Amino acid sequence: MSVKITCRQCQQSFAAAEHLYGKSLPCPSCGATLTIPRPGQTSSAVIPQGPRPSGPTGQGYRPAPQGYVQPPQGYGHPPQGYGQPPQGYAQPPQGYGQPAAGYGRPSVAKKPLNRGAIVGGIVAVVIVGVLLVGLGGAYMLSRALAWPDSSQFESLAAGRAGFQTRLTSKEKDGSPLPNPPPGMFRLERYPSPAGNMACLVSTLDGTGQGRRPAMIWVGGGFSNSIDDSPWTPMAADNDQSASAFRDAGLVMMYPSFRGGNQNPGYKEGLYGEVDDLLAAADYLARKSDVDPQRIYLGGHSTGGTLVMLAAASTNRFRAVFAFGPVASVSDYGPEELPYSIFDPQEASLRSPRHWLHAMKSPVFVFEGNGAFTNASDVRSMQRAAKTPNLHFHLLDGYDHFSVLQPVSQILASKIQQDTGPTCTIQYENR
């Protein structure tokens, strides 16, 4: 609703919208400052500063009320000579009140500038600045350090042999486990080196269908947890459910990892999670309705990075599909990394770009080719890849999320036809 106000300066009336209540604005007619009242209050106006218009046509001019008497000439002005010194007043001598030359200064000769001290001071300021940058500066420094040579190792598992990650923080997610709808998923636990981890496994819609291909899907983020996304309807431009594979008849498994949900252990930022993922594959392969030779692995964003690390650790997967991974784990930023950012080996053992040579299964990497994606990471890995089993696809017109549903639907159809002794899946950009 609006409120009607009248300017006390020019007596013009206006209507003010409710979003102007309590604000001070210039009158559209005379320029006086109006305070817009709330309903039930009285408006006010402040006469604008500055000289009044000199003629009857000036904006805001109002004639004097009848009977108004002009004050006598000179009224309100000080008498002539007011504020001047009396006649005969003597000016003080020149320099009066000024300190004597050299007053307050030591009576010693000037010393030349100590350039060494100046340089030392500048260096000290730079050092202090670097220290104040703190974690951010240390993070950038760690990116510049030389990376260990991973090419000498046949697999990521071999490169990690004998290495013990050192966590600088011990964090757990603690999210409650989801309650899956009956007849769609079962909540189960699989054994891993860190203890029993929760997972969701899809149920079959019939009997007597024999062993089926299976998909292990890893979602994005660093929570290491599972939620209700596998059965929650999602928009086509952000479908992180991977439901296209379940709709195609694949057995689906969504594992959680150490430190996620209410699992044992702590989040390790893509290190121990690799061990958990391989243990989940072992668990799934033992199921009577799963074809152990046709277990596929897929993941999105952080999950895409994790599945590439798993592909560098073993060749047991029929094919691996990584959506929107990063080349280096340091790209996620120090706030997500629970290890010492000063240790390049910690980062190397978590970064797919250092282990492309170790990926023996067919690996397909997808990302949208628009803004706010990991397209630059995909390009850098494409340039570094030397083996023919790595396939990189940047799709125009898609982003980090909208690429998921259409590509998953195509892959699900290709998996249905991939029934030979080895993987025959191929993908061409459309």
Structural domain span for residue 28: 2-46
What six digits make up the tokens of 330? 């340091």
**How far is CA 12 from each of CA 28, 36, 48, 300, 368, rounded to the nearest angstrom?**
9, 14, 16, 64, 60
pLDDT at residue 210, rounded to an integer: 83
pLDDT at residue 394, rounded to an integer: 98
Quick count: other Cβ atoms within 10 Å of Cβ 415?
Answer: 23
Question: Does residue 145 lie in a domain region?
Answer: no
Question: Does residue 325 lie in a domain region?
Answer: yes
Convert 366-398 to b/e letters by CB count within 10 Å (16 or more is b).
bbbbbeebbbebbeebbeebeeebbbbbbbeeb
Sorted by sequence, the CB contacts under 8 Å of residue 366 that are 6+ apart come out as 321, 322, 323, 324, 393, 395, 403, 407
Q: Are strands 212-218 and 195-202 parallel, antiparallel or unpaired?
A: unpaired
Q: Where are the beta strands (DSSP E) in 40-82?
A: 44-46
pLDDT at residue 343, rounded to an integer: 92
CB half-sphere exposure, 423, CA atoms < 13 A? 25
- CATH number at 19 reads 2.20.28
Residue type, 307: V
What six digits make up the tokens of 239? 């479908």
DSSP tag of 261: T
Q: Are strands 212-218 and 290-300 parallel, antiparallel or unpaired?
A: parallel
Question: Does residue 127 lie in a domain region?
Answer: no
Tell me the pLDDT of the chain (430 aa) as tens digits. Answer: 444 667 878 877 755 544 444 667 688 678 788 777 755 555 444 444 444 434 333 344 444 444 444 544 554 555 555 455 556 545 555 654 554 454 444 444 444 556 666 666 776 655 655 554 454 544 444 444 556 789 999 999 999 999 999 999 999 999 999 999 999 999 999 999 999 999 999 987 555 578 999 999 999 999 999 999 999 999 999 999 999 999 999 999 999 999 999 999 999 999 999 999 999 999 999 999 999 999 999 999 999 999 999 999 999 999 999 999 999 999 898 888 999 988 999 999 999 999 999 999 999 999 999 888 999 999 999 999 999 999 999 999 999 999 999 999 999 999 999 999 999 999 988 7
What six digits make up the tokens of 292? 């152990």
The residue among 46, 62, 82 that closes a domain is: 46
Question: Does residue 334 lie in a domain region?
Answer: yes
How many Å separate Cα 193 from the centre of its chain? 32
pLDDT at residue 90, rounded to an integer: 53
pLDDT at residue 250, rounded to an integer: 97
The residue among 31, 46, 61 that closes a domain is: 46
Residue 319 and residue 183 share a domain: yes
Question: Does residue 57 lie in a domain region?
Answer: no
What six digits make up the tokens of 157? 């598992």
Question: Does residue 227 lie in a domain region?
Answer: yes
CB half-sphere exposure, 84, CA atoms < 13 A? 8
- Indicate if the alpha-carbon torsion angle 113, 116, 121, 126 is positive or negative: positive
In contact, 403 and 324? CB cutoff 8 Å: yes
Residue 164 and residue 30 share a domain: no
pLDDT at residue 73, rounded to an integer: 55
Question: Does residue 83 lie in a domain region?
Answer: no
Q: How many domains does the chain have?
A: 2
Residue 162 and residue 39 share a domain: no
Question: Does residue 59 lie in a domain region?
Answer: no
pLDDT at residue 178, rounded to an integer: 97
pLDDT at residue 333, rounded to an integer: 85
Residue 309 and residue 164 share a domain: yes
Q: Measuring CA to CA, which residue among 228, 270, 240, 233 is closest to residue 355?
A: 270
**How far is CA 113 from each of CA 102, 110, 116, 117, rounded to the nearest angstrom?**
21, 9, 9, 9
- CATH number at 322 reads 3.40.50.1820
CB half-sphere exposure, 254, CA atoms < 13 A? 29
Residue 165 and residue 27 share a domain: no
Expressed in percent and rounded to 5, the helix, strand and coil fractions of the chain are 25, 20, 55
